[in-house]
Amino acid sequence: MPIHTEMNRRNFLKLGGLGAAAAWAPTSLFAATPKQDKHEEAFRTLSFYNLHTGESLRTTYWEQGVYHPEALDEIRHVLRDFRTGETHDMDIALFDLLNDIRRKTESNKAFNIISGYRSPKTNAMLNNTTQGVAKKSLHMVGKAIDINLPGFELAHLRKVAMMQKRGGVGYYPASNFVHVDTGRVRHWQ
């Protein structure tokens, strides 16, 4: 014996209302979203320790879609050329890259800064005295940083940085740092 269900006007309108709501809802409501810490979705925080000046900084530079100018200035200051004291605008994409690297490492420790911004004068001096320093280094335009992460293996930090595929990654194990930049995707050691 077949079972018959009766569709009355009220049930028909309920189904129609649900269908209309589904059609108007953003598709992101129905997409599978990766599990993320709610704090990470709303905030981007970076920590630095400048090995040359002894300065530390922990700052939230992005919150709910907004970059904070004061925090960006603080980061720019701690990443300054320690030899000349000069600061320079830094590429915000570099901060976002560092944030993603930090999240992938699951570390709450501060990045050790070996080199952030370099003035043309400092870069020229290093180019003449140190092997591997580019004449037109991205450090001079605020798009590069040399870092390590205490307690995190340098080779693994390099691998995490390379997995981002968002710029250059240089590996300098003898000097204990990884170079990351927001230039074209490439890598070297």
Of the candidates 23, 35, 139, 124, which has an alpha carbon nearest to the alpha carbon of residue 79? 139
Q: Kindly state whether residue 182 falls inside one of the protein's structural domains.
A: yes
Residue 41: what pLDDT?
67
Q: Of 5, 30, 29, whose CA–CA distance to 15 is shortest?
A: 5
Specify if 162 maps to a domain. Answer: yes
Tell me the three state secondary structure of residue 81.
coil
Which residues fall within 8 angstroms of residue 169, CB to CB, at 6 or more apart?
Answer: 158, 161, 162, 178, 179, 180, 186, 187, 188
13 inside domain: no
pLDDT at position 29, please? 34
pLDDT, residue 132, reads 79
Report if residue 12 sits inside a domain. no
Give the C-alpha separation, 37 to 178, whole Å: 27
Residues 6+ apart with CB under 8 A from 37: none
Residue 10 within any structural domain of the chain: no
Tens digit of each residue's pLDDT, the chain (189 residues): 444 444 454 444 444 444 444 444 443 333 333 444 444 568 999 999 999 999 999 999 999 999 999 999 999 999 999 999 999 999 999 999 999 999 999 999 999 999 999 999 999 999 999 887 899 999 999 999 999 999 999 999 999 999 999 999 999 999 999 999 999 999 998
Residue 106 lies in a domain: yes
CATH of the domain at 96: 3.30.1380.10
Nearest to 94 by CA among 22, 17, 147, 40: 147
Tens digit of each residue's pLDDT (9 = 90 or more) over 140-163: 999 999 999 999 999 999 999 999
Across the beta sheet with 43-50, the strand order is 66-67, 56-63, 43-50, 111-115, 144-148, 177-181, 168-172, 186-188
Tell me the C-alpha distance between 104 and 96, whole Å.
12
Q: How many domains does the chain have?
A: 1
- Predicted pLDDT at 173: 97
Predicted local confidence at residue 96, as pLDDT: 98
SS3 for 132?
A: coil
CA of residue 50 relative to chain centroid, distance: 18
Domain contains 82: yes
Q: Is residue 16 part of a domain?
A: no
Domain containing 183 equals: 38-188
Name, in order, each residue with C-beta under 8 angstroms of 2's C-beta and a sequence gap of 6 or more: none
